[in-house]
Chains A and B, each alone.
Chain A
Amino acid sequence: AQKITQTQPGMFVQEKEAVTLDCTYDTSDPSYGLFWYKQPSSGEMIFLIYQGSYDQQNATEGRYSLNFQKARKSANLVISASQLGDSAMYFCAMSPRPGGSEKLVFGKGTKLTVNP
């Protein structure tokens, strides 16, 4: 079975600073996909970034980057130059195969608050 662990219930960051949200995972699957989603208070789930288990390079999407350390089974999200609009819940998720067309297992989430 797959499991996602997010150990930070809440994080605070000053505007314009960088922040790292932790995610560790556990799986027996030889290949898998890792995702980060943002959920504002309005409820929608916004896809941020994806990392495949066989990808050699860390994924980046604008201000978001994924620090993938396969040996440690971690997939931390780094947000650079935080903005007030980044305040939201952030969920790390995993799929049993690369790509995400399979069902996702989510972590408990981290609530990020960006302070002005």
Chain B
Amino acid sequence: GAVVSQHPSRVICKSGTSVKIECRSLDFQATTMFWYRQFPKKSLMLMATSNEGSKATYEQGVEKDKFLINHASLTLSTLTVTSAHPEDSSFYICSAARGVGQPQHFGDGTRLSIL
């Protein structure tokens, strides 16, 4: 069964809207979660590392004010795309590992389309 749950699976909204995406670890606690972005027919690029109880660590070139990450509990991380524009349209996917030495499991991803 699913190990990591991501919601919503698809969002279509107008330019200027802020969109929140949730990533939940099911039946395990995740002090660290990861957020990736994938453009069509491209690979996954790490955006940021979400750390429970502390600030997220962003990869170079990722705007932290545009992509707000909150890891408020040991089972939930949220990514908020603020004031989204068409160029933010993409596939966003989160992951978490059950523990040290365990492989990462991914959510089903969120397809974001900004009109």
Contact = CB atoms under 8 A, between A and B. Distances in A.
Interface of B: 32, 34, 42-46, 49, 91, 93, 95, 97, 99-109, 111
Contacts of B108: 42-44
Grouping DSSP codes into helix (H, G, I), strand (E, B) and loop, the B interface class, with mixed when no group exceeds half, is: strand
28 contacts: A35-B104, A42-B108, A43-B91, A43-B108, A43-B111, A44-B107, A45-B44, A45-B106, A46-B106, A47-B106, A50-B103, A91-B44, A99-B100, A99-B101, A99-B102, A100-B101, A100-B102, A100-B103, A101-B32, A101-B99, A101-B100, A101-B101, A101-B102, A104-B46, A105-B46, A106-B44, A108-B42, A109-B43
A45 B43 contact: no
Contacts of A103: 34, 46, 49
Q: Is the interface of A mostly helix, strand, loop or mixed?
A: loop
Contacts of A44: 106-109
A104 to B, nearest CB: 6
